[in-house]
Amino acid sequence: MPTSEKSKSLNLQDIKTDVTSENSEAEVFQTLLIEDVKYKTRLTKKFLNRKPYQPLDPKQILSFIPGTIKKVYVKKGSKVKAGEKLLDLEAMKMVNTMFAAENHVIADILVKEGDMVPKNQLLILFK
């Protein structure tokens, strides 16, 4: 959907809270200005309590799926080049090989072969 220069993105600084007498829950409204037309929208509790976006740290390797560590190819303190194998993660009867995206030095390896890991667990830390 094309946007114009007059369009305003969602700005949480403009939120106004009004308490309704019937529900005793706070209703939060946002006014958006899109192409010179004002729109009043309601923000849900789920939206207001959402986890803020945080970009991935390039110095960390996280598990993207729960599984079992099958093989670790690197050691603590070793230098790895871009494209070099770091470890194998088996999940759902498939082996997923994780590679280094850039040249790094391994600061710490937080897993060993045979460990079961949940999603988003820190596996390898780079310097």
97 in a structural domain: yes
Dihedral sign for Cα atoms in the order 30, 34, 38, 40: negative
Torsion of CA 123, 75, 73, 124, to 10 degrees: 10
Domain that holds residue 28: 12-48
Do 90 and 121 belong to one domain?
Answer: yes
75 in a structural domain: yes
Nearest to 126 by CA among 90, 65, 74: 74
3 in a structural domain: no
Do 69 and 109 belong to one domain?
Answer: yes
Do 65 and 32 belong to one domain?
Answer: no
Nearest to 13 by CA among 28, 2, 34: 28
1 in a structural domain: no
7 in a structural domain: no
CA 13 vs CA 10, 31, 36, 46: distances in Å: 9, 11, 20, 18
53 in a structural domain: no
Q: What is the pLDDT of residue 20?
A: 40
Task: Give 36-91 pLDDT, tens digit per residue.
Answer: 888 888 877 887 788 888 898 999 999 999 999 999 999 999 999 999 999 999 99
Dihedral sign for Cα atoms in the order 73, 74, 79, 81: positive
Do 82 and 114 belong to one domain?
Answer: yes
Do 34 and 76 belong to one domain?
Answer: no
Number of domains in the chain: 2
Residue 10 has pLDDT above 60, yes or no: no
